[in-house]
Chains A and B, each alone.
Chain A
Amino acid sequence: MSSSYQNAVFPLRLVDGRRLERRYRDVLLPGGTLCDHAGRARVLPRYFYEVTSWEQARATNLSRHFTVSEFIHTDVREAPALRVFPRYIPCATVLLAFALEQLREAVGTYVFIGANGGYCSPRHKGTGAASPHCWGTAANIYRIGDTYLDTPDTIRRFAALAHEVIPTVWTRPLGDQRALTDDHLHIDLGYVVSVPREAPGESYNLKLAGEPL
């Protein structure tokens, strides 16, 4: 790890999504729920890091080799409010970057996340039911080193490696039907929500805390 990274203060501002302007709340749905393919409610992240410019995204590492820019590279299918800066990424994206770092170390070369393959808001036109991309915990890897992951063999090989180095990772099964993959490796950590210690949160309210254990 480089000394500059070690000593750097993490520059992104932590924000409570529920306190953002309405145009952001409407697309980030902070703390809201999405329904997955099995009909289960999944609670969306509430806390985000704010990214003020592309330059900042390029200059800010989430792990040794992965910068913020790699996780916010979306296209015209993203909600208009999130196609301009400031942009927001769920705090758990940092955990994804750490997981990808394990893969990066195992393959010994660059790991490329595709456009629309990092964080996508719940209003992104390409996200299906409760896609973990909306949690910032999924990555679509289209290339590793000089190898494009567009054949069953390459996808299978790197998926196996991902499972080896990230024990609980989920990879999308191979195939050309809906919800399968044939031109990238989709890996995700599931519906992980990260709440940093400095996150403001609400005051503790016993009535809202549910039944005691």
Chain B
Amino acid sequence: MQTRPPKPPPVPSLRSTGDLRERFAELEQVVGARSLAVAISDFETGTEFEFNGDRWFHAASTIKLAVLVGVYGAIHRGELLLQSRVHIRNRFLSAYDGSPYRVRGDRDANAEVHREIGRTLRVAELADSMITSSSNLATNLLLDLVGLDVLQRTLDSFGLEGIDLRRGVEDELAYQHGINNRVTAEGLVGLLRLIEEERAFSPALSRQMLDILHRQQFRSGIPAGLPREARVANKTGDISTVAHDAGLVYLPGRKPYAIAVLTEWEPTATGRSTTIAAASYLAYAALIADRADVE
């Protein structure tokens, strides 16, 4: 069951971005988040909006969106095939000092990949698990396979800012030494734009990535703030101090918009998903109002 924001606020127009900015500032204050950032890029109106859009956050699992694009870059270059088989092994080397570490099965949202240890899965299956059920093991396997440097270079080749890929998931030693994957709301929206505009290597590969994002199982963030007819291709990220969601929103009768909502919290704070859903609603309402004004 989807969580919806309790009281839909009035609909501000995006033409007065100051109003929307105030709304987000108010939301940030009311929910007690340490920080809230939102970036929106609307393909229907060409509107670009950001609220703390260039503020860096710990990426949590939203970095998997960047890994997905990097993996498809390797496919585009012919280094991998979607049907290429990958040995499932739970052993990775820390970005801090090269010491080995493992992904904890009890903390991974997807146990299926762990069950395949010793055997192989296809790149397509790992990419799907990495995004739709946020498998940490699948992510690290793909990251290992393609290589951190290669992945970051692929992202850099698009001139994207706001995506800083530095290590695998659950690399606790690197985390303790401040080596973290970081994103900005604008960076994530930039990635989503690449996919929606079919500039991520080729139209066919972009559509394949979009199909994976559409199969997302975690729907309590951006999708929960939208009407039922909305389709969302999204990727969430959630650890003790941050909760994020970034996605492409498809509404009937209009082109989609890309939105990223990044939040930072005290570890004991509650109401994270509801806040993201509320921010999603504010953006939706503003964009729809904007369209109504045009018509």
Contact = CB atoms under 8 A, between A and B. Distances in A.
B6 to A, nearest CB: 47
B90 interface: yes
A66 interface: no
Interface size grouping (class) on chain A: 10 to 19
Contact of A76 (B84, B90, B99, B102): B84
Contact of B100 (A115, A148, A182): A182
B178 interface: no
A145 to B, nearest CB: 13
Q: Helix, strand, loop or mixed for chain A's interface?
A: loop
Contacts of B252: none
Contact of B85 (A76, A112, A182): A76
Contacts of A114: 87, 89, 118-119
Contacts, number: 44
B89 A176 contact: no
Interface in B59-85: 80-81, 84-85
A76 B118 contact: no
Given A142-B118, A148-B117, A183 B91 contact: yes
A3 B118 CA distance: 31
A115 B88 contact: yes
B103 to A, nearest CB: 12
Contacts of B81: 76
B87 A116 contact: yes
A109 to B, nearest CB: 15
B118 A115 contact: yes
B109 interface: no
B3 to A, nearest CB: 38
Given A76-B145, A182-B91, A183-B90, A143 B118 contact: yes
A142 B117 contact: yes
B85 to A, nearest CB: 5
26 contacts: A74-B87, A75-B85, A75-B120, A76-B80, A76-B81, A76-B84, A76-B85, A76-B86, A76-B123, A114-B87, A114-B118, A115-B85, A115-B87, A115-B119, A115-B120, A117-B118, A142-B117, A142-B118, A143-B118, A148-B117, A148-B118, A150-B90, A176-B99, A176-B100, A183-B90, A183-B91
Interface of A: 73-77, 112, 114-117, 142-143, 148, 150, 176, 182-183
